[in-house]
Amino acid sequence: MLISPQRCAVLIGSALLAGLSVWTATVAAAAQRPVTATAAPALLAGLAPTAAAPAAHHDARHRDSLLGLWTGQVRTTIPTGGTVEYRFNGDGTMEVIVGSVGYPGMWTQQADGSFSFEITLPETDSSGNLTGFNYASQNGQFTSPGSFTSAGTTRIFNLQGTVTKSFGVDITATRLHHRRAA
C-alpha cells in the first residue's frame, strides 16, 4: 500500500484537500471552468493559480507516454463502473477529473513503458458530508499508442484512517489529448 514517505504525504494531504471538494465544485460551477482540488487553497486565499513548466517524467526512449488527457472505463469488483477522465502531467502529478473537480495523484513510468499511478478521492454520505477518502493504486501498460489498461486496488478509509472496504479496479482508457514533455 503506502511505500514511501512521499506517497504517505500525498495521501494525507489529499485527504485534507478532500474536505474542500464541495467548495471547489461550487467555485468551478460559478466560474464555468474546471478548478482542481490542488488549486482550491490558492483560490481561498484569493490568489490565481499558476502553472510551472512541466519536467519530463517518462523515459524519452519510449514512444508511448501518459502525458495528456485520457478517458477511461472503470470496472470494480463490488461491482460498479463508469467513465472517468485522467490528466497526467509532466512533473509526475496527475488528476482524476470527476465532474468539474480534479482530485490529485501521482504517476511514474518505467523504461519498458509500463506505469503505475495512485490517487485519492473523498468519500461522502448522501448529504454530501465527508466520511473518509479512498486511495487507489493502479499498474498499467499500453495496448496501443492511444490506449492503455490498468488494474489495481482501491481502499476506502474512514476519517479515523481505518480501512472500511477494499476492492479491485480495472481501467481501459483512450487518449483524448496528447501533451509533450518540455
Fold of 5-47+54-178: Porin (2.40.160)
3-state secondary structure of 46: coil
pLDDT at 22: 38
Q: What is the pLDDT of residue 5?
A: 47
Model pLDDT, residue 98: 84
Strands 115-124, 35-36: pairing kind: unpaired
Q: Are 92 and 101 in contact (CB under 8 A)?
A: no
What ranges do the domains of the chain cover?
Answer: 5-47+54-178
> Which backbone phi and psi does 111 adopt, to 5 degrees?
-60, -30
* Euclidean distance between CA atoms 11 and 154, whole angstroms: 13
List, for the chain, all residue ranges whose pLDDT scores fall below the cut of 50.
1-3, 5, 8-10, 12, 15-63, 181-182
